[in-house]
Structure 1
Amino acid sequence: MYSRLRQLRTDFSISAFIVGLIATMVSYAGPLLIVFQAAEVVNLSHELVSSWIWAISFGTGLSAIVLSIWFKAPIITAWSTPGLVLLVASWSAYSFSDAIGAFVISGLAITLLGISGLFSKIMAYVPQAITTAMLAGILLSFGVQVFVSIPDFPALAIAMLISYLCAKRWTPRYAVLIALLVGTAVALGFGRMHFDTIQVELVKPIFTMPTFSLDAIIGLGVPLFIVTMASQNAPGMGVLKADGYDTPASPLIATTGLASLLTAPFGSHGINLAAITAAICTGKEAHPDPGKRYIAGISSGLFYLLFGMFGATIVSVFSAFPKELTAVIAGLALFASLSSSLTSAMSVPSERESALITFLVTISGISIGGIGAAFWGLVAGVLTNLILNGDVRRMLKKSKEQDIDVSG
């Protein structure tokens, strides 16, 4: 135990710590607001909403810390954003306790899928060019937001971009931090920070006994399970692979499933691997040494635990910042990951068409059956690669051999 703590002190860096904070800020500044939209659908009380935010924050923070220390890699977790969108569209037909039961079933299914190792077998058939192309498609909109924000708040966006580029040349490890500080200073100078709206209030978690309705399980639990695995966990593994982390999928999926299962009675709809915020922490902006970027995962987890203690009031903190600042800092923090993803996606000549189709489908934003474009980009890329390069008989033979090994 002492040696592990000493190793943490040795590997600690300000850049990784700050990147972990930025990743947490991005999560709270955007997806968390959808929680309130979903809560309005079923008229949840302030206390239940606060408990919900505590639950997803606690599950996210604890799982990120445990997994980052366990694998010594920046394993970033998050709550299911597609799941929140699903709740906004479908929750009104079910009671709160039935929804909690559906969350429990979804978490249990994810846990079992992770323990079984089936997710790892599926990912083994996906070339790295396709996963990195999918990641590039996800990240593209964030990179574009840096420039889209210029007309809305030119002084802030241009100042942050120039400071980032200058710092990138002379002190690259702190480029994102310097851009954040410059952006905050500009926002203060223009009177765009609204700290008067901040209200501090500790959360009181509320346990709700789940009830199990077949309608809610089919209408909420099953779709929640599908969109979480397809739109969150698959891209999350792609982020890790794109930055050179060959982390086994099964324990990661099982751990997030278990976190979802345990926090569901307090309102959590689901915990999963992060993609966008993970890309902030897995790149060179966190630390030049990939072996020391896990500090960003621990940092992110600690901030989730800290912020989650204040429940719904945390939204007022991040709403004090101009939305342009959040958009620009997220985009700048993802520049390195977007660049490396595009390079990796096109590095294998025989897989360029597959990667290109994956990228195009992902950025299209299509949604079919409640499942987002990232999953369909992955499917399109795999099918394209199979048509252009695949040996169906060899794949079937390999699958059969794996089944024999498992049963033996």
Structure 2
Amino acid sequence: MGGIQALATGFVVAIVGFFSSFPIFLAGVEAMGATAPQASSALMAGGVAMGLSGIVLALWFKAPASCAWSTPGAALLAGSAADSAGFSGAVGAFLIAGALVVVAGFWKPLVRLAQAIPGPITLAMLSGVLLPICFAPFRALAEAPVVGAVILLTWFGVSRVSRLFAVPATVLAAVALVIWWNGTLPMPDHILTPPVWVTPTFSLSALIGLALPLFIVTMATQNVPGVAVLKTNGYTPPTGKMFVTVGTASILTAPFGAIATNLAAITAAMCSDENAHPDKAQRYWAAVWAGLFYVLFSVFAAVVTFVAASAPPMTMSALAGVALLPVFMTSASAALKDEDTREAAALTFVLTASGLTLFGIGSAVWGLLLGSLVHMLNVWRRR
């Protein structure tokens, strides 16, 4: 099964993919009103979905197609107001977003429609969503000095040596804070995670305010780059079938609380590297192993969420903040790089970061609309 090299790469990919982003995932579902059991179920279902999807795609197309839950989508949720129907309304939005990805797999115009919004404006929206979350570790310095100092110093110190392992190392530091706070490492009564069914609720406000932004940001920042990474490394699996697979996984796991499942770019690049296997034709085994480890970690999601709930105040928000700092830096710099779209991107960024909610629709949607309108007017003026 690919040898020890592929197994080791798969293990590293799973460590990085799971433990670098689970704080953001939890922040997203909790912002949508998920209870502790629902959050555990969501984390478990999301991990199983990305693990099995990666295994299926890797074995089906013999390509290192790694999958992930939508970290930008989780960040979008963390910065959005909860639906009036509570978590069931968010689950309805997850289902619609997954269905749109499936449709995009069969109908290419939908992909082009998602890409019709200029990349800098989408990235500006993402940056605006991320900014308030990235404030948390610095606010912790004043409100919870020990927490803020440990989280920031660990992340900054390890990132000088390895950016890849900076967040997993900070997760270990957070565990140390939990032990310091409680005197021991708290454990739940049951370490296995039971699934919790959430009957979805559908509404126009959830469609506009949650489902469409989740679909757009997942396609633009995850699915499309994930395909591009594979093509850059010489793999050409059918894009449509890949979208249908991750979209179906999203639909099946949404009622258990899982946010969108998508193709991954960073972990796919790790699986596509020669360190995964000297033989390019065998590198897909690294993605298979990564998927297996994702599923294994997810079975114990109840432990992860219980320990997180036992952390000192502001620990998890500070952890999510440092985990998203690299994403914020990359997206913000790319959003404001092009002079032709800079004004539209800046307005999108500021409006999104403002947290404005009008008519039950959050600032991310208003930011996208304003940025797109300004961009169209600027193009019309130049012509």
- Structure 1-normalised TM-score? 0.67
Q: 1:259-408 alignment to 2 at 5 Å? A: 259-263=249-253, 267-268=255-256, 271-273=259-261, 291-292=272-273, 305-306=295-296, 308-309=298-299, 315-368=305-358, 370-390=360-380
Structure 1: give runs of 5+ residues left out of the alignment.
Answer: 41-45, 93-98, 211-215, 394-408
Match of 1:240 among 197, 222, 227: 222
Are the counterparts in 2 of residues 233 and 253 from structure 1 also a CA contact under 8 Å? no
Q: 1:162-219, CA deviations, whole angstroms, 9 ceiling, x for partnerless residues?
A: 233333334444333333333433443x3346644522154566899x9xxxxx9xx6
Percent of pairs identical after alignment?
A: 25
Structure 2: give runs of 5+ residues left out of the alignment.
Answer: 230-237, 277-283
- Count residues with an aligned counterpart: 359
Stretch of structure 1 that moved more, 364-373 or 238-247: 238-247
Are the counterparts in 2 of residues 90 and 220 from structure 1 also a CA contact under 8 Å? no
Structure 1 residue 355: Cα displacement: 1.0
Q: 1:136-285 alignment to 2 at 5 Å? A: 136-188=127-179, 190-192=180-182, 195-196=185-186, 198-200=188-190, 202=192, 220=202, 224-240=206-222, 246=228, 251=241, 253-263=243-253, 267-268=255-256, 271-273=259-261
Q: 1:227-286, CA deviations, whole angstroms, 9 ceiling, x for partnerless residues?
A: 45422121123333897863798556533432244346xx33664257xxx9xx856xx7
Structure 1 residue 147: Cα displacement: 0.2
Amino acid at match of 1:246: A
**Bigger-Rg structure (1/2):** 1
Change over 3 Å in CA distance of 1:9–1:302 after alignment to 2: closer
> Is the partner of 2:181 in helix, strand or coil?
coil
Are the counterparts in 1 of residues 178 and 185 from structure 2 also a CA contact under 8 Å? no
Are the counterparts in 2 of residues 133 and 355 from structure 1 also a CA contact under 8 Å? yes
Q: Work out whether 1:22 is the aligned partner of 2:22.
A: no
Are the counterparts in 2 of residues 61 and 77 from structure 1 also a CA contact under 8 Å? no
Amino acid at match of 1:21: F
The 1-side partners of 2:127 and 2:285 are apart by: 24
Change over 3 Å in CA distance of 1:87–1:256 after alignment to 2: farther
Structure 1 residue 290: Cα displacement: 9.1
> Is the partner of 2:228 in helix, strand or coil?
coil
Query: What residue in structure 1 maps to residue 234 of structure 2?
Result: none
Amino acid at match of 1:132: L
The 2-side partners of 1:234 and 1:378 are apart by: 10
Query: What residue in structure 1 maps to residue 280 of structure 2?
Result: none
- Structure 2-normalised TM-score? 0.71
> Is the partner of 2:260 in helix, strand or coil?
strand
The 2-side partners of 1:49 and 1:179 are apart by: 21
Query: What residue in structure 2 maps to residue 121 of structure 1?
Result: 112
